[in-house]
């Protein structure tokens, strides 16, 4: 039951973007088209899961035994940067259309604070490897869900008649605030 609670809380009740406000830059930058949002979401799911596993292993086998916990952030950043390079290379060779669509946002995964945040939250919470994997996948799915919902809304807003004061970033920020309030409703259902 604990794993089910982790999934529910990570995706809905404590969404990394809408409730913890991590990853706002790619959230607002990539959420213009659903296709791009899904591509970014899949890349985040892959990188977040793999980086959480690798950083957990590095923390358990290297940093904690040798009392090098103060190097966590630097070590985790290096792991994440390496994995993003791997994803970028694979996407460039396997799906050039998605690679071009993601453009500058693919390197943004390197500086996406959700990736580093999840790695740090996992080791600080003392999660075992199964909980680490479940939490990483769930947070990434929650990130993707928020991204796709926002992209769908923004695509519809392009067709709407809006005041010139609301066009662009203003309506995106208002929409993000309303989505955040909507996801906050899940907090009362379960706490972790």
Enter the pTM of the model.
0.88
Q: 9-18, 131-140, 163-172: which has the minimum mean pLDDT?
A: 163-172
> Between these two residues, 165 and 147, which has the higher pLDDT value?
147
Interval 4-33 mean pLDDT: 89
Handedness of CA 131, 36, 110, 192 (dihedral sign): negative
- Number of structural domains in the chain: 1
Task: Among 11-15, 87-91, 97-101, 161-165, name the most confident range.
Answer: 11-15
Instruction: Please report the pLDDT score of residue 116 as a whole number.
Output: 93
> Between these two residues, 166 and 48, which has the higher pLDDT value?
48
Residue 30 has pLDDT above 90, yes or no: no
C-alpha dist (Å) from residue 118 to 6, 30, 52, 158? 13, 20, 7, 33
If we measure between CA atoms, which residue out of 143, 135, 123, 130 comes closest to residue 55?
A: 123
If we measure between CA atoms, which residue out of 185, 126, 87 comes closest to residue 135?
A: 126
Residue 187 has pLDDT above 90, yes or no: no
Instruction: Measure the N-to-C terminal CA separation of the chain; round to a whole number of Å.
Output: 12
Q: 91-105, 106-120, 154-168: which has the minimum mean pLDDT?
A: 91-105
In whole angstroms, what is the distance from residue 43 CA to residue 89 CA?
12
Instruction: Please report the pLDDT score of residue 190 as a whole number.
Output: 65
Instruction: Please report the pLDDT score of residue 69 as a whole number.
Output: 95
Instruction: Please report the pLDDT score of residue 192 as a whole number.
Output: 47
Instruction: Please report the pLDDT score of residue 127 as a whole number.
Output: 93
Instruction: Please report the pLDDT score of residue 1 as a whole number.
Output: 52
Nearest 10 degrees: Cα torsion 66, 71, 73, 74: -120
Other CB atoms closer than 10 Å to residue 163's CB: what's the count? 8
Residue 177: which domain range? Answer: 2-188
Average pLDDT, the chain: 88
With H, G, I as helix, E, B as strand and everything else as coil, classify residue 190. coil
Interval 80-96 mean pLDDT: 86
């Amino acid at each position: 039951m604990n794993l089910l609670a982790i999934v529910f809380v990570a995706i809905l009740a404590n969404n990394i973007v809408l409730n913890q406000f991590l990853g706002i830059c790619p959230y607002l930058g990539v959420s213009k088209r659903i296709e791009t949002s899904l591509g970014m979401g899949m890349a985040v799911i892959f990188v977040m899961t793999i980086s959480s596993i690798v950083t957990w292993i590095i923390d358990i086998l290297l940093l904690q035994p040798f009392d090098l916990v103060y190097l966590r952030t630097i070590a985790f950043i290096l792991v994440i940067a390496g994995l993003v390079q791997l994803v970028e290379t694979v996407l460039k060779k396997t799906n050039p259309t998605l690679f071009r669509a993601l453009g500058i946002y693919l390197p943004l995964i390197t500086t996406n604070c959700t990736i580093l945040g999840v790695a740090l939250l996992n080791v600080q919470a003392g999660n075992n490897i199964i909980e680490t994997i479940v939490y990483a996948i769930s947070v990434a799915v929650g990130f993707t869900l928020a991204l796709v919902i926002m992209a769908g809304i923004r695509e519809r807003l392009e067709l709407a008649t809006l005041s010139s004061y609301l066009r662009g970033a203003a309506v995106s920020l208002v929409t993000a605030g309303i989505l955040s309030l909507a996801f906050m409703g899940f907090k009362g259902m379960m706490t972790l």
